[in-house]
């Protein structure tokens, strides 16, 4: 396949860091909020967002919430999240969400993916509870790759007040993490929502982020999904990405209002 040129190394990351730092500071200041709430998963996206936020705001204006699920969240992820909270000298809290989920499931029928989405929505409820309580903004930790794919839970991890890395592909976020001096084990960790045991993004999507980002870049630059679809029907892996984009387009739209007048 002939990709349009995409190389995640060909970007001015010091300028990107400066722009995001200014963005976070201005959004917090202009909203008259007292700071930010961020969900810390121990993964690359939330770790980069925390590092950027810590560069933008005093530590006491940042609350990190670690929201693990017993038997699903790896201990290493919890340890990494705690390490970063201490590294950047922010307040953090650990709230296990199993009991909350159990109360829901007393009245619901179990299905793996639906249950996973419920986990994501429980987490966002907790983030916004603290945001309301403390007059703070919730930082969205999703990147451009996830947004373009629709690889997030609607009103779950897709819910946020500001999205600092939403215009950066996953491969760019990894480079940013290295420049921000994140620990090596976070930089090389496989990305995944961890909504069920051993939940890895690249395995679920069926492709690496290196290939995914090349294709997404091509789509973004071509601005013609019909041509892209015809070019890639013979490539099963690429076609799966295209189908995922088409299936999840609704996630990127605001709820549609029925116009009366």
Phi/psi class of residue 110: alpha, beta or left (left: φ > 0; alpha: ψ in -120 to 50)? beta
| Cα(48)–Cα(171) distance, integer angstroms | 12
| Cα(168)–Cα(43) distance, integer angstroms | 16
| Cα(48)–Cα(189) distance, integer angstroms | 13
Partners of 137 in the β-ladder: 36
The larger pLDDT score, comparing residue 249 to residue 221, is at: 249
Residue 255 confidence (pLDDT) above 80 = yes
* 130: its two tokens: 């603290």
pLDDT (0 to 100) of residue 1: 44
* 13: its two tokens: 């990351």
Element spanning 76, H or E: helix 75-87
Please name the residues in contact with 184: beta carbons below 8 A apart, sequence gap of 6 or more. none
Of the spans 42-56, 222-236, 244-258, which averages the highest pLDDT?
Answer: 42-56
According to DSSP, residue 259 is labeled -
What is 199-245 written as a DSSP string? --HHHHHTS-HHHHHHHHHHHHHH--HHHHHHHHTT-HHHHHHHHHH
**Alpha carbons within 13 A on the beta-carbon side of 140:** 23
Element spanning 37, H or E: strand 36-39
Q: What is the pLDDT of residues 46-98, one digit of tens each?
A: 999 999 999 999 989 999 999 999 999 999 999 999 999 999 999 999 999 99
pLDDT (0 to 100) of residue 80: 98
Q: What is the pLDDT of residues 164-220, one digit of tens each?
A: 999 999 999 999 999 999 999 999 999 999 999 999 999 999 899 999 999 899 888
CA 109 to chain centre: 27
| Cα(90)–Cα(253) distance, integer angstroms | 34
At residue 208's C-alpha, the angle toward residues 203 and 213, to 5°, is 130
* 94: its two tokens: 């650990």
Is residue 204 within 8 Å of 198, Cβ to Cβ? no
pTM of the model: 0.92
CATH superfamily of 13-252: HUPs (3.40.50.620)
**Contacts by residues 80-83 (CB-CB < 8 Å, ≥ 24 positions apart):** 80/42, 80/47, 80/183, 80/185, 80/186, 80/189, 81/40, 81/41, 81/42, 81/46, 83/183
Q: What is the pLDDT of residues 143-167, one digit of tens each?
A: 999 999 999 999 999 999 999 999 9
Q: SS3 of 66, please?
A: strand
């Amino acid at each position: 396949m002939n990709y349009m040129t995409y190389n995640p190394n060909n970007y001015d990351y010091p300028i990107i860091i400066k722009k995001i730092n200014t963005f976070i500071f201005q959004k917090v200041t202009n909203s008259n909020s007292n700071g930010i709430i961020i969900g810390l998963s121990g993964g690359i996206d939330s770790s980069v967002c925390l590092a950027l936020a810590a560069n933008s705001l005093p530590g006491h204006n940042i609350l990190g919430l670690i929201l693990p699920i017993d038997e699903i969240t790896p201990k290493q992820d919890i340890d990494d999240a705690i390490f970063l909270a201490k590294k950047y000298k922010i307040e953090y809290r650990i709230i296990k969400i199993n009991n909350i989920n159990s109360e829901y499931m007393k009245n619901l029928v179990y299905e793996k993916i639906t249950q996973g989405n419920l986990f994501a929505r429980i987490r966002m409820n907790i983030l916004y509870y603290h945001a309301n309580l403390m007059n703070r903004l919730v930082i969205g930790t999703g990147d451009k790759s996830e947004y373009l794919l629709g690889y997030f839970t609607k009103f779950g991890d897709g819910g946020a007040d500001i999205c600092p890395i939403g215009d950066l592909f996953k491969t760019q976020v990894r480079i940013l993490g290295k420049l921000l001096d994140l620990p090596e084990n976070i930089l090389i960790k496989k990305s995944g929502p961890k909504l069920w045991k051993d939940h890895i993004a690249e395995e679920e999507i069926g492709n690496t982020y290196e290939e995914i980002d090349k294709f997404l870049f091509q789509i973004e630059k071509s601005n013609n999904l019909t041509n892209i679809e015809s070019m890639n029907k013979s490539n099963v892996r690429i076609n799966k990405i295209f189908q995922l984009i088409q299936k999840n387009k609704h996630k990127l739209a605001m709820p549609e209002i029925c116009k009366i007048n």
